[in-house]
Structure formats: structure tokens, C-alpha cells
Chain A
Amino acid sequence: MSGAAGRDRPEFVRLGDADRNGLFASGLEYNPPARGMWNIVHTGMLVPGAHEIFACAQGCLRGVILTAAEMLELDRLSWISVSESDMFDGTLESDIVDGVRDIIAKLGKHPPVVLLYLSCIHLFAGVDFDDVIRELSESFPDIHFVDCYMTPTMRTTVSPVMKMSAQIYGALEPRPLDPKVIGIVGNDRATDEDSELVRIIRSSGFELRDITLCRTYEEYLRLAESSINISHIPTGVLAGDELQRRFGAKHLHLPARYDYNGIADNYRKLCGALGVAIPDFSEEIAAAEAALAEAKAVIGDTAVAVDYTAVTRSFELSLLLKKHGFNVKYIVADTAGGEEEAFDSLRELDPDIEVYSAVNVNMLDMPEREHEPVLAVGQKAAYYFSTDRFVNMIVNGGYYGYSGIRKIAELMKDAYEVPKDRRELLKLKGMGCASCLV
């Protein structure tokens, strides 16, 4: 692809020329119509029975309200708009409190939890969120109010997604830790039951708890009994750390890896923490290898594009695929944070791989350019390379470990053999959630 020549802000960089500490200069940003990633509304809805109340400007409200509407949960979200005068007339905090009281009065039945979201402008104006929560908690002692944040301006400090992944556990109360209960936290979809991670936990006599599996509020409250909490996606780290700080539950971050040594290291740590023997994974590894070989046989030398929304380690997955003969030519990612080793190895293996920014303004007309046939892993790659042969997956898809590699290989093979309706799939927000657009 040669589209970046002469650009003031090139939209791609050759891997051999890329600086992994800063792939692209920041600039204006484009938003491609690939909507599968979750936002803080989707995540909040994981708390059974929770009611979300957003206080922010109309422009910000619009997106969250219609997220709820599209996922058929409009009755679980209310809002308080902030006007220009509210910012300067001293009513910013009282408007929140009065608005929440008004909404709760209209709800009829009190929800067990209210997730109250404030926005950038509230924090910038110095709103005392603790005081707001305290006042509301005194007014409604039967409701647990949780402070939540829609603060994209602060994303370089703590991303709203990471913060929300932690705040959904905010209504948990301390309970005696149960040494036979293990939690998986910070993820927005259940971890594959077929993964070695889940199988080790379950087969060793432990009970696995995960907010994505909770159907009732009581089940949710029992998450506080986990003696060890495992996070495996980067945005789940804060959740694990917070639960460790609040309840003393050990946090084990075992990041989803696409590297056999990394996976083995994760399982060593897991088994050590559980006090169980490390199983023999030779069959699982062989199955992953066989699946990769089978996928390669089908896909052949078709160009492969991997994007950062499909997997949390796009360079590591690309390296694995490259080592197994796949013609990985494109990566869509704006950073290489957290996978420096894979980045360097991949650069050495194939410096001609092109890394594309997902948000660069010049990506606007990328879909119209002439593309060779591409198999994409991820929605943004599918959109940008205009291909219906794509793996429709976000944030590792819940897959993990050796079985995760096997399943992604199987999905790639399937994606190659059975083209999808790209437009219809990419438009759906919050992959896995209900949608009125289906």
C-alpha cells in the first residue's frame, strides 16, 4: 500500500522504521464506523439491577443514551443535562443531587445500585463527588451509589474504560474471603469455558465467579468472596488492584498472550497461586499448532491484517502468525505499549509490515483505495481493508491460552471460507450485547 507518501501526517509506517515508543504523531482523529467495542454504558449494565444516571452536557449524553436504547436497556438509564449556566452559577453539585432525587422518585422501585457518572467538566470544575455520593446515600440508604466517570479528556491518566471496569465492583461490600472461590475480573465477556485457565480453576475444586456470569444482585455481591482475582486484559488491571486494596483478595494479572512461553508463564503463576500441579499442556499445544497449520493451508499467502481491537496484543499475535507462515502484512494499531518484545521480534522478522494508525485523518478514504484480498482479524482492519473475510472479534473474544490460539486459528480459517456481511456486523455497538439494529 502506498498512500502515505508526501503526507504531512502519514497514516502508516513501515515496521522497520517505526518507533515503538511513539508510532504516530498525535493529531486530529477520525472515527471509523466499526462499533463493536464496548463503552462505559455497556460495562455498567453488567451489574445486575443497576440503574445508570449520567450527568453531563447534551453532546455527551446523546451517545450514552442511545447506547442504552440500541441495547434495549433504555429503562435502565436516566440523565441530567448540564447547561452553560450550570457551570458558573454555583448549582453544579446541587443540580446533580436534585436531579438524581427526581429521577429516583420517578423510577418507582428503588434499584439496588445507582451508577452515577460525572463528566470531564465536573471534575475540571472541582465538583466534590464524595460529598455528592454521601448526600445521596443519606437520602436513599437502601441504594448503593457508585461514583463513575465519563472523562475522556483524562484518558491519558486513567482511561474511562479501565476506570469503569473497576467501578462496576464498587457496590460490593466486604465479605469473608473464601479460599475455594476464584474471580475473573475486569473483562466484559466471559472467559471461554474451554480455556485451560477456566478448566484449571474448575477442575481443581475451585468455584469461578465472574460478573459476566452474574444473573442476580446476590450473585453479584458474592463476587466479594473471591480470595484471588484474576485479570487477563489490560483494562482489567485496575479492577484487580482495587479489589485487592479493598478486600485483601490477591490480584493475579495473567495477560492474554499469543506466545507459548508467555502462556506457560501465566499457568505457572496460576497453579502456584492455587497450590495445584501444573498440568501437561502438550495436547493443547499440539492442537493449537494443528489449527494454525490447517488455517495456513486454507488461507495460503493471502495478506493478513490484525487490528488492536480484536486482540490486546496485536503485535504478539502477528508474530505468532508470521512464525507459522501467515502472510501478515498489515497491523492496525496506534501504540505498541506492553508488547515491546513482540514488536522488536516482529520488526526483525519482517520490517516491511505496515502499521496503520486507526485514527489518522488520512485513513478516511482508506476503504476506497485499491486493496489486494485481505483476511482481517478485527473490525477496524476489516473496514479499512474493505474485506468481508474477517474475524469478528473484540478484546480477545474471551479466548485465552493455547485453546485461545487454536480457536482464533479456527476463526481465521472460517473467516476465509465464509465471508461475512461487514456492514451489518460492524454497525452493531457493544459486541455480544442485544441490539435493536439486528
Chain B
Amino acid sequence: MKNAARIIPCYSADTSGVCSALYELGGLTVVHDASGCNSTYSTHDEPRWYDMRSNIFISALTEMDAIMGNDEKLIADTVSAAKDRKPAFIALCGSPMPMMTGVDFDAVAAEVEARSGIRTFGLHTNGTRSYIEGASEALAAVVREYAEPCGKVRGRVNVLGLTPLDLPLGADKHIREWLASHGFECGCTLAMGDSLESIKKLPSAEVNLLVSEAGRGAAEYLKKEYGIPCICGVPFGNGFADELAERLRSAANGSKPVALSTAEAGQAEVIVIGEGISAMSLAEALRRDLGLNAGAINTQPSEGAASGDVLSCEEDIEAALLELRPKAVVADPLYRYILPAGTRLIEVPHFAFSGRCFQRAMVNLINTDIKEYFK
């Protein structure tokens, strides 16, 4: 069955995607939920929780409030918290129970905004979808709200979709260094290691770098409204990092953006499993730096042409691996349970999959020599 799994985890959900995306932007995020969303998010989906404060709360929804449709409590409690916390903005999103009761988050947001005087937006999560969808909607919402028309800055690149769910903490710093080393100026790193102030200047970039589908909504908005082209990829390794820099430069100069490409299914000796852009980028890096014929299995929703077919359930991934019979799989350690016999697993922990379990083993693969790691 597509919706059942014997052993491997599910990925982070849309509510966590919202919270992760907005974490560093100075807002107040409310998940309309009884209790589980916040403890799950703060324990398993948020590596910054202990060290960096963020106004992320749950509404503590009760059975009676759900049955009676007591949206007033959510509104009043949010306005009250905003008085005390003084956020830059307020984001409201939903979990499964509000989906059942049909809470209108746009209406609730309008009411909260009217009472608090603070810009408020409703996000349409329900706890049943991928973190990618939640994060993408959240980032697109803040970009729509805060990006301001401004003049272009030559060589400026925005990084979109950057959250610790897909890339380890510190990835923002490594990407900044890589961009600088190729003569680019890093604009906004949406949304790790950056601020709301920086979001205002997003339109000043010549090109956007989409490092995860989590930034897809923002990228599409910036393309539509400001004509900023978008290149997909994470600068893993050395060879692919150089190539990606060239793709950015070409796109900035008006050339058609070059898409990620990997080995054809059935031809790959190595399969990378994970979020589409990360997985395909790593596959390209393995090809360029180690000469491996590497392919990718994308486990997350993808709207762009850059990503291949999405295999999101245990049954499908297990069947695909059985058919492809790769020599090695590069994936989170918890995929070890469904690998074909004889297939080697090269572990690359993915926070959106195994949470804290292998956090200590996470290493930076951005703009660095990856030969030793994958030898």
C-alpha cells in the first residue's frame, strides 16, 4: 500500500516546513493544533530550538473548541501573544483537526491583523502534506509581502529554499563563501542566516539559486514579478560547484537556465535518494568529482522540470531499488532497512527524514572535496 510503511520514517510535514522556513524572520507562527505539532517540530524537525529563540507556538486546540468552531479563541490568543511578543508579522497555519472543521485561515488572519495591527497571513497546511509544500507556501508569502522593487545589483545572487530540514546548519555560510569565491555577491539566503530586511531586497538580484523545492513558490513569484531567472542546484563537491557557478553566470547574462541532469534510470550505478534538488545535485557532483554514473530518486513534491519522478512511499522506493539494483545508494542512514541485498549504503543524514538521530554525523558537502567522503 502506498500510504503504509513497515519501518522507514515519513518525512517532515507541511506544518514543520512552515515553521522551519519562517524561523529566523522575526515573526510569530501559530500552528492551530492540540499539542503534537509543536513537540514534534521542536524536537525532531528543528535543530535551532535550543540555541535560537523563535516565536513558534501552538494554539492548544481542544475538542470542545474544535466541535464548537471556536475560532475566536485562536484569534484572541494570537492577538494576546502578539501584544507580548511584538513580532514583525504573524503566520497562522493548520493541522489535521482544523482541516476537518474547515477553519478559514485567511479569514482568521484578516481578523487577527485587524485587531493586532500586525501584518498577518494564513497558510494552508493540514499536517498531511510534505514539508516542502508548507515551506514553499510560507516563503512565497513573506516574499510577496516584503519584497520591494529596487535596482539590480550586478552579480547578486539570492539563495532560495534554504532550511535546515534539507541542508545542515551552516549551509548558508558555505554557500556565501562559494558565491564569493566565484565573484558573486550573495543577496538573501532565504531563510537561513538572514532577515526580513534582506527579503526586501530580493528583487535586486540578477539570478536566484534554488537549493530546495522549499523555495519554489518564492522563485516563481520573483520570476513572474521581477523577471529573475532561477537556477536549481546545491553546490556540492568541487566540479559541480564550479559548473553551477557557470550556470548562474549564464543565466544572469540572459541565457536559458540549465537544468540539473543525472543518469538515466536503469543506467545508474549509484542512486542518491532525497529531496529532488539536493539529490540531483549530489548525483551531478558524484559524476563530476568521482566519475560515477549517478542517478537520483526524488522523494518530495516537485513542480519544476528540474526534478524527476517522485517516489514518496516505502513500497515504491523499495521496488525501484530492487529493479535498478545499484551498486550503492547515497541516502539517509534509515534507508538501510529497505536496500536490496548487496547494495552498499553511503550515509548522508537528511534532517527532514531522520531528524536528530544522525545530526552529529552531518557533514558539509558544499563547495568542498567530497572524494574522501564517498570513496
A57 to chain B, nearest CB (A): 4
- A98 CB–B CB distance under 8 Å: yes
Known: A31-B42, A66-B354, A361-B81. A423 touches B50 (CB 8 A): yes
Query: Smallest CB–CB gap between A108 and chain B, Å?
Result: 10
Whether A33 pairs with B62 at a CB distance below 8 angstroms is no
**Chain B 277-319 interface mask (CB, 8 Å, partner A; 1/0):** 0000000000000000000000000000000000000000000
Given contact pairs A28-B30, A57-B126, A120-B96, A106 touches B6 in the complex (Cβ within 8 A): yes
Are the C-beta atoms of A99 and B3 separated by less than 8 Å? yes
Contact of B77 among A27, A102, A103, A119 (CB under 8 A): A27
Contact of B11 among A58, A87, A154 (CB under 8 A): A58
Q: For window 379-438 of chain A, which residues contact chain B by CB distance below 8 Å?
A: 423, 427, 429, 436-437
In this complex, which of A8, A154, A359 has the most chain B Cβ atoms within 10 angstroms of its Cβ?
A8
Determine whether the beta carbon of B9 is less than 8 Å from that of A65: yes
- CB neighbors of B among A356-388 (8 A): 359, 361-362, 364-365, 368
Complex: A33 Cα to B40 Cα, angstroms? 11
Contact A30:B128 (CB < 8 A) given known A69-B357, A78-B7: no
**Which parts of A104-152 form the interface with B (CB within 8 Å)?**
106-107, 119-121, 124-125, 150, 152
Taking each of B14, B39, B64, B95, which has the highest tally of chain A beta carbons within 10 Å of its own beta carbon? B39
A103 to B314, CA, bound (A): 11
When C-beta atoms are compared, the residue in chain A nearest to B38 turns out to be A31
CB of A82 closer than 8 Å to a CB of B? yes
Q: Is the CB of B66 within 8 A of A153?
A: yes
Are the CB atoms of A155 and B128 closer together than 8 Å?
A: no
B368 contacts the other chain (Cβ, under 8 Å)?
A: no
A59–B128 contact, CB under 8 A? yes
- The answer to whether B127 and A60 have CB atoms under 8 Å apart is yes
* Chain B residues near A427 (CB-CB < 8 A): 50, 356
Question: Which residues of chain B from 109 to 138 have a CB within 8 Å of any chain A CB?
Answer: 126-130
- Residue B355 CB within 8 A of the other chain: yes
| Cβ contact within 8 Å between B35 and A155 | yes
B146 beta carbon closer than 8 Å to chain A: no
Chain A residues contacting B3 (CB-CB under 8 Å) are 80-83, 86, 95, 99
Tell me the nearest residue of chain B to A26, going by C-beta: B60
B39 in complex: contacting residue of A31, A61, A84, A99, CB < 8 Å:
A31
A69 touches B100 (CB 8 A): no
Contact B81 A27 (CB under 8 A): yes
Find residues 32-68 in chain A having any chain B CB closer than 8 Å to their own CB: 33, 35, 56-63, 65-66
Q: Chain B residues with Cβ under 8 A from A84's Cβ?
A: 99, 126, 128-129
Is residue A74 contacting chain B, with contact meaning CB distance below 8 A? yes
* Residue B61, interface by CB 8 Å: yes
Q: How large is the interface on B (under 10, 10 to 19, 20 to 34, 35 or more residues)?
A: 35 or more
Of the candidates B11, B45, B80, B128, which one forms a contact with A27 in the assembled complex, judged by CB atoms under 8 Å apart? B80
A63-B39 CB under 8 A given contacts A28-B30, A82-B96, A102-B1: yes
- Report whether B6 and A8 are in contact in the complex, using a CB–CB cutoff of 8 Å: no
User: Nearest Cβ distance between residue B79 and chain A, in whole angstroms?
Assistant: 9
* Interface hub of A69, A124, A427 (most chain B Cβ within 10 A): A69
With A62-B12, A63-B40, A124-B97 as known contacts, state yes or no: A102 contacts B63, CB within 8 Å. no
A361 CA to B13 CA, complexed, in Å: 23
Alpha-carbon separation in the docked complex, A40 to B273 (Å): 31
Query: Does B37 interact with chain A (Cβ within 8 Å)?
Result: yes
Separation of A75 and B338 alpha carbons in the complex (Å) = 12
A219 at the interface (CB under 8 A from B): no
Once the chains bind, are B60 and A28 in contact (CB under 8 Å)? yes
Bound CA span A157–B67, Å: 14
Per the bound structure, the CA–CA distance linking A120 and B100 in Å amounts to 10
CA–CA, A247 and B61, complex, Å: 36
B36: which A residues are within 8 A, CB to CB?
A: 59-60, 63, 150, 152
| Contact residues in A for B78 (Cβ distance below 8 Å) | 28
- Verify if B10 is at the interface (C-beta below 8 Å from A): yes
Is the CB–CB distance between B127 and A103 below 8 Å? no
Bound complex: CA A49 to CA B83 (Å):
51
Asked if A28 and B57 sit within 8 Å, CB to CB, the answer is yes
Is A348 part of the contact surface with B, judged by Cβ < 8 Å? no
Question: Are A436's CB and B96's CB within 8 A?
Answer: no
**Contacting pair B128 A57 (CB below 8 A):** yes
A residues within 8 A CB of B95?
57, 59
> Is B169 an interface residue when CB atoms closer than 8 A count as contact?
no
* Cβ-based interface call for A156 (8 A): yes
Contact of B55 among A7, A65, A156, A364 (CB under 8 A): A364
The interface residues of chain B lying within 8 Å CB-to-CB of A121 are: 96-97, 99-100
- Besides A157-B63, A423-B50, 4 more A-B contacts (Cβ < 8 Å) are A66-B357, A98-B1, A106-B6, A362-B84
A interface, CB within 8 angstroms of B: 7-9, 26-31, 33, 35, 56-63, 65-66, 69-70, 74-75, 77-84, 86-87, 95, 98-99, 102-103, 106-107, 119-121, 124-125, 150, 152-157, 359, 361-362, 364-365, 368, 423, 427, 429, 436-437
Could you give 28 example pairs across A and B, Cβ below 8 Å? Answer: A8-B80, A8-B81, A26-B77, A28-B77, A29-B38, A30-B57, A58-B127, A58-B129, A59-B15, A77-B7, A79-B10, A81-B3, A82-B96, A83-B128, A99-B1, A103-B5, A121-B99, A124-B100, A150-B36, A153-B34, A153-B63, A155-B35, A156-B63, A156-B64, A365-B53, A427-B50, A427-B356, A437-B356
